[in-house]
A and B are shown apart, each in its own frame.
Chain A
C-alpha cells in the first residue's frame, strides 16, 4: 500500500496556492528552528535523516494474505529528530518525490507538504509532548507516547486532507462520505503506523537513547566502577538550555495570536457561505430533519458559529471563531496545568 500523493487538478488553484503559502511558511519556520537545534550540522544530518525516511518508506511490513503496509514516517521523524527537523525531512522527501519521481503533482506540492508533512509531524509532536507530561518518564512511557502520537497523526492528516478537499475540491463528492471513507481507512493505517513507530522508537531507545529527541533527559545518571563498587560520577557540567525550551512563552504567544487571527479573519470571510457539509445537508434535506431535533446547544450564545446581538453575519462569525479558540485554549491549558500539578506532587512524593 503506497501512501497517496495528491496529483494536479484534484484541488483547485486558489486553495493549492494557499496550501503552498502555508507549506512555505512552515518550512521557513522549521529551517530557523532546526538551525538552532543542529547549527551547521543541519545539512548533513537532516539530509541523512531524509534519506532514512525515504528508504524506510520502502520497507514492507507484511500484514496478511499478500497485503503489506509501510511507514509514512511523520510521527517517527517528529519523535526521533524533533518537530523542526522532522518537518524539513518530510518536506524534502515530498519535494524530491514530486520533482524526481513525478509522485504527486507540482501544483499540489503545497497541499502534500501541508497535509502529510506539517499536520502529521505537528500533531504527533504536540500529542507526544502532552503525553510525556502525564506519563512516567521511562522508556515504556516514551514508547507508549510514541504509539498514541503515531496512532492519531495519520487520521489527523486524513482529516486535514478532507478539510482541504471540502474547501477546494474540484468535484463535489459529499464531504461526509469523503470524511468517513478517509477516516475509516486511515484509522486502520494509523494502527499499523503506531505499532511500527512504537517498535522502532523502542529499538532506537534500547541502543542509542541519546539519539531520540523525544527522550532527552531520560538518560540514567553516570556511574563509575571504583574498586568493584558503583559510585556516582561527578555531575557533568549543565548543558546549555535548549533553544526551543528557552522560549516556550514566545512560541505559545505566537501560536495563540496565529490561532486567533486565523479564527477571526478566516471565519470573517468564510462564514458568509455555508460549508460543504452544510451544503450537502441542505441539498439532501438532512437539514429539515435536523431542525426537528434541534441541536442541544442551539440556545448557547455561539450557536451556529455566530454571536448573538451582533447583526453582521461576517463580524459575528469572526467573533465566534475568536471566542471558540479562546475557550479551547483555556480548556486545554487547564487540563495540562492540572496534569503538571499532579506530576509535580507525584515527584515530591517519590523524593520523600
Chain B
C-alpha cells in the first residue's frame, strides 16, 4: 500500500523498533502480554518493572509519552467497571479517604487496571511502529489463514473509502437541512446505513470483477517477503524475555 493508507496510530519513523519485521514484533507483544497476565496481582513492584520496560521501548521507538497516554483512553469503559469493584465485591472491608470499600474489590480493580493498561500500552506501541500492510503480512507469516488475511486487507484497504462514503452521505443529509436529534430520525439514518451496505456490497462485486479481469484466481501473490534473521528475532524478543524473570520472581515471591 502506498502513502495515505497509514492508520491513525502509526507514527512514521526509522527507529530500531520501526525497522523490526512485523511478525517478530507481534510475537513479542503477545509474549509480553501473556507474561503480564500471568503475574500475580499482589506483586505490585512487578507491574512497575513492566511499565519501565515499555517506557524503554517507547523511548527507543521515539514515541512521545503524551501520544501513548492519549491512546490509553480506549479502556475508559473498563476503568468505570474497575472503579465500581471496591463497592460491589463482598469481603473484608477497609476505609479509604473515609469511604468503606472491600479489600478483594480493591485488588480486583488494581488487577484490571494494571494488566489492561499494560496490554493497551504494548498494543499501542506495536501499532505506532508498524505499518498496516506490515501488520497484516506479519499475521500471515504467523499462520493466519491466507483467506482471512485477504479479507482483513480488503477491509483495511476499503475501510477509509466506505467511511468517507458514509461521511459524504451525512454531508448530503445536512446540506438538505436534516439533523438527527432523536429516535424519530432513526428511519432516515437506517436508510443511509442500508444504502451504505448496498454500495459496499456492489463495490465488492465490481472490485472482484476488476480483479478477475486482471488474472485473480483466489490467492494473492506475496510480493514483499521480509524474513527475519536471528538478530532481529533476538531484538524483538528482548521485551518478553526481560519481562519473564520479573514474572518468575513474582510467582516465587
Chain A residues packing against B (C-beta within 8 Å): 2, 4, 6-10, 12-13, 16, 27-28, 31, 35, 40-52, 54-56, 58-64, 71, 80-81, 88-89, 91-93, 95-96, 98-103, 105-107, 170-174, 177, 195-196, 199-204, 206-208, 211, 283-284
B152 touches A92 (CB 8 A): yes
A13 partner, pick from B38, B154, B189, B216, beta carbons under 8 A: B38
Surface stretch bound by A, among B56-64, B143-151, B229-237, B238-246:
B143-151
B1-37 residues at the A interface, CB under 8 angstroms: 7-9, 26, 29-30, 33-34, 36-37
B186 partner, pick from A46, A102, A170, A196, beta carbons under 8 A: A196
A31 touches B123 (CB 8 A): no
Known contacts: A45-B204, A200-B193. The answer to whether A7 contacts B120 by CB under 8 A is yes
A residues within 8 A CB of B181?
A: 62
B183 partner, pick from A40, A64, A208, beta carbons under 8 A: A64
A-B contacts, 16 of them at CB < 8 A, read A6-B78, A7-B116, A40-B217, A47-B155, A50-B152, A52-B201, A61-B189, A62-B183, A96-B155, A102-B123, A106-B119, A174-B89, A206-B194, A207-B194, A207-B198, A211-B201
B85 partner, pick from A13, A16, A56, A171, beta carbons under 8 A: A171
B residues within 8 A CB of A47?
A: 150-155, 157-158, 204
B102-155 residues at the A interface, CB under 8 angstroms: 104-105, 107-109, 111-112, 114-116, 118-120, 122-124, 126-127, 132, 135, 139, 145, 147-148, 150-155
A88 touches B148 (CB 8 A): yes
B165-202 residues at the A interface, CB under 8 angstroms: 165-166, 180-183, 185-187, 189-198, 200-201
* A54-B7 Cα distance, complex, nearest whole Å: 14
B211 touches A61 (CB 8 A): no
Known contacts: A13-B38, A93-B155, A172-B89. The answer to whether A51 contacts B104 by CB under 8 A is no
Known contacts: A55-B159, A100-B132, A171-B104. The answer to whether A50 contacts B88 by CB under 8 A is no
CB distance from B151 to the nearest CB of A (A): 5
A residues within 8 A CB of B189?
A: 59, 61, 196
B193 touches A96 (CB 8 A): no
